[in-house]
Amino acid sequence: MLKSIHVLASAALLGCSACGGSSSPPQAPSPTTTTTAAEPAREARSSVESLYGKPAPEWQPESWINSPPLRLADLRGKVVLVRWWTAGCPYCSATAPALRQFDREYGSKGLVVVGMYHHKDEGPFEPSVYRDTAKRYGFTFPLAFDKDWRTLKTWMNGVDTGWTSVSFLLDKKGVVRHVHPGGQYVEGDAAHAKLKATIAQLLAES
């Protein structure tokens, strides 16, 4: 377990400027104590909970893949999971199997998974990188490019969790019911279990 913590911390320090905060790379949790690692997570959960119970504003993405352009308003009656992702982000790569799983397991039951690509490289946006990363992650659900992070900034409404690889889960009325504050969720961890249980709960609601 200690070795795994050191590996994750190293990945955050070396490779996750691509999925960290909006103004600077995220500060990696200290591998020396579980207390300092847990504090940012608790603060992030507390801050995103202020977004719960509010309708998500209409999104503003472009350059859709795997789908014609979608309007959020047209997805009323569906449960919608939106995940921000980018190239070069180890947490996005680690979370890709969970997104594919949710799409396969719940897509026929009324869940729509949407991936929002947010460009974070220093150079200009390269559509080929966007498309190639989507293919490498195995994403077959609708994807779109969130230019200048317009939708992300609007949906976060001033909340800063220190991450941009955020996930929003909307109920059938388009209301925010759950937010994962960023980083990864993989099958077997608490964040994955919470998200999966909430998806099932929202699909069961009338």
Backbone angles phi, psi at 113, to 5 degrees: -95, 130
pLDDT for residue 34: 32
Cα torsion 193, 197, 200, 203 to 10°: value is: -120
Minimum mean pLDDT range among 27-31, 123-127, 150-154 = 27-31
Tokens in use for 90? 């180890």
pLDDT for residue 121: 80
Domains and CATH numbers, the chain: 49-204 (3.40.30.10)
CB-based burial of residue 83 (10 Å sphere; 0-12 exposed, 13-18 middle, 19+ buried)?
buried
167-189: pLDDT as tens digits:
999 999 999 999 999 999 999 99
53-78: pLDDT as tens digits:
999 999 999 999 999 999 999 999 99
pLDDT for residue 10: 39
DSSP letters spanning 72-95: GGGGTTSEEEEEEE-TT-HHHHHH
